[in-house]
Every structure is written in structure tokens, then in C-alpha cells.
Amino acid sequence: MANAGQADVPSKNANTGYDFGELTTKIIMSKLFAILVSALWLTSAHAQATSCTAAAAEKKLAGAAKNSFLKKCEKDATAQCEAAAAERKLAGAAKTSHVKKCVKDAVGPAD
């Protein structure tokens, strides 16, 4: 009856005195996941910083190959921009405006 009236205390850790266990692991894993997602987002943003027209010029594309590349790049940009608009929960004119500007920025100026 030495513990009469005391609540059960989680098992103690020899180093800190407390057993953080599963809760600490979840917090660490969620923070690592957030860091990983941020790193991937920054990498993709950096990769997308080069416009489609600049990428076509860098690859020295011309004629049908350039047109095909630009068409695919614009299609991919549209999909990414629409996904970003959905993530931001845009609708109507705001979504249309966002997607139009986003695609224009991704494709770059016409040659």
C-alpha cells in the first residue's frame, strides 16, 4: 500500500526520468516528414524555375521537336497549376486567373 492514492506513473527512463516512447517517435517522424516534403517542394520549385522555352533553347530544340516539347511542358504545367489551385481551394475566376498566370510563368515568353 505504499502507492495508495497515487496515480500510475509511466515507466521511467534511466536518462531523463520519463518515458516519452511512442509520442516522441511520432513527433520526430512528423517533423522529419515535414522537412522532407519541404525539401522536395523546394527542389521541384527550383527545377520548375527554368521556363519551358528556356529549357527548349537549352536543349537546342527546333521545329517539330521544339513544338512537341513545349506542348508537353505546357500540359504538365497546367496539371501542376490546377493541382496547386485545388490545394489552395480556389474556385471560379480566382482559379482561372491563378492557373492562367501560373502556366504563363511556367511556359515562359514565346520566342
Cβ pair 81, 98 in contact under 8 A: yes
Query: What pLDDT does 108 receive?
Result: 86
In sequence order, what are the residues at sequence separation of 6 or more whose Cβ sits closer than 8 angstroms to the Cβ of residue 95?
Answer: 82, 85
Reading the chain (111 residues) residue by residue, the pLDDT tens digits are: 455 555 555 555 556 556 566 667 778 888 888 887 777 766 655 455 578 998 899 999 999 999 999 999 999 999 999 999 999 898 999 999 999 999 998 888 876
pTM of the predicted model over 0.85 = no
Query: What pLDDT does 36 receive?
Result: 77
Which amino acid, residue 64?
Answer: A
Query: What pLDDT does 46 receive?
Result: 47
